[in-house]
Amino acid sequence: MEPLIREARPEDRPFIEEIARLTWDGEDYLARVFGEWLKDGNFYVLELDGKVIGTAKLTFLPGKIGWMEGLRVHPDYRGRGYGRKLHNFLLELGERLAREGKIEALEFTTDFLNKHTISMAQKTGFYIKARFFNFGAKVGDFEPEEPEKIEPGMEDLTLGLIPVGWRFVKRCEEALEWLRGNADFYDLNGLRFLAPKKGTTFTPLDVGLATLKAMLPAMAWVARERGVEEFDLMFPSGVKSLLPGIKRLGLFLWDETEEPNVLVFRKKLI
């Protein structure tokens, strides 16, 4: 049979859980967001012979952005063009939504080592919009200190492109409202950072070494409260000169590199 791309259904959960279990050593978030994505819509699966073997999601972000995420193919079916099929499906969906005036561009992010995805993106008209560093840290390396949860204002949005986990939103009033619903903001002695409501990838709103050192115990506290032993931090590429100092604070790159390891891609549609 020919593969079929259709909207995801509640009964697809076991297939999604299997794909997640076999992705990123079982650390894939796909199973955790399954219900949320079903409710949000624009969540699709690739079905072959009655089995779901792939997934793809388009999420609306502030600024009329269609955010492409959750593109997965079951390991047993990789290398057969199914990932490209899902990618092209999202492109066609994005173009239709652009004609309807609902979005103006498609964006997504990927790891710098994901050569196949990078090549596919460049061949279909995407370009690199921004680069970030994703660092890891261990809760046990810090003495956790409880921060205060705050309601953010525009003055807290100190970055032009704001990481919220592995989604990125452009600073604007619309983004502020979206952030209030999708991220938690924390303050520790006047130093502030954010985290997605689900997940432990933190964004410092000041990336100086001294302020970062002061914030790490608060990030460790939030990570511990969310039940994890490790957490991530997302930094703009401008911190490259600070890499030695950042590493001395106990942070580490998942892949040894001196270059940004997270790439944000964009394709303008209108």
pLDDT-based confidence at 149, cuts 50/70/90?
very high
**pLDDT given at position 256:** 79
User: Given a cut of 90, is residue 27 above it in pLDDT?
Assistant: no
pLDDT score, position 11: 97
User: What pLDDT does residue 198 have?
Assistant: 87
All domains of the chain in start order, with CATH: 4-103 (3.40.630.30), 131-263 (3.40.630)
Percent of the chain with pLDDT over 70: 100
Q: Is the pTM of this model over 0.85?
A: yes
Amino acid at 73: V
pLDDT band at 109 (very low <50, low <70, confident <90, very high): very high
What mean pLDDT is predicted for residues 189-204? 96
pLDDT of residue 255: 82
Could you report the per-residue pLDDT of 58-73, keeping only the tens digit for each? 999 999 999 999 999 9
Rounded to the nearest integer, the mean pLDDT of the chain is 95
Sorting pLDDT into bands at 50, 70 and 90, what band is 207?
confident
Distance in angstroms (rounded) separating the CA atoms of residues 227 and 222? 9
Is the predicted pLDDT of residue 221 greater than 80, yes or no? yes
Interatomic CA distance for residues 38 and 55, integer angstroms:
12
Task: Look at residue 120 in the predicted model and tell me its pLDDT.
Answer: 95
CA dihedral 56, 257, 212, 167 (to 10 degrees): -10
* Cβ count near 186 (within 10 Å): 22
Question: Is the confidence at residue 141, as pLDDT, over 80?
Answer: yes
Place of tokens 């998942």: 254
Mean pLDDT for the stretch of residues 103-130? 96
Q: Which two tokens stand for residue 201?
A: 């990838």
Q: What is the pLDDT of residues 163-175, one digit of tens each?
A: 999 999 999 999 9
The two structure tokens encoding residue 245: 């100092």
Structure tokens that stand for 93 in this block: 């969906």
Average pLDDT, stretch 202-214? Answer: 95
262 token code pair: 């997270």
Answer yes or no: is pLDDT of 1 > 80.
no
Rg (Cα) of the chain, in Å, rounded? Answer: 19
User: For residue 240, what pLDDT band results from cuts at 50, 70 and 90?
Assistant: very high
Whether the per-residue pLDDT at 231 is higher than 80: the answer is: yes
- C-alpha span between 201 and 166 (Å, rounded): 8
Q: Report pLDDT for 270.
A: 86
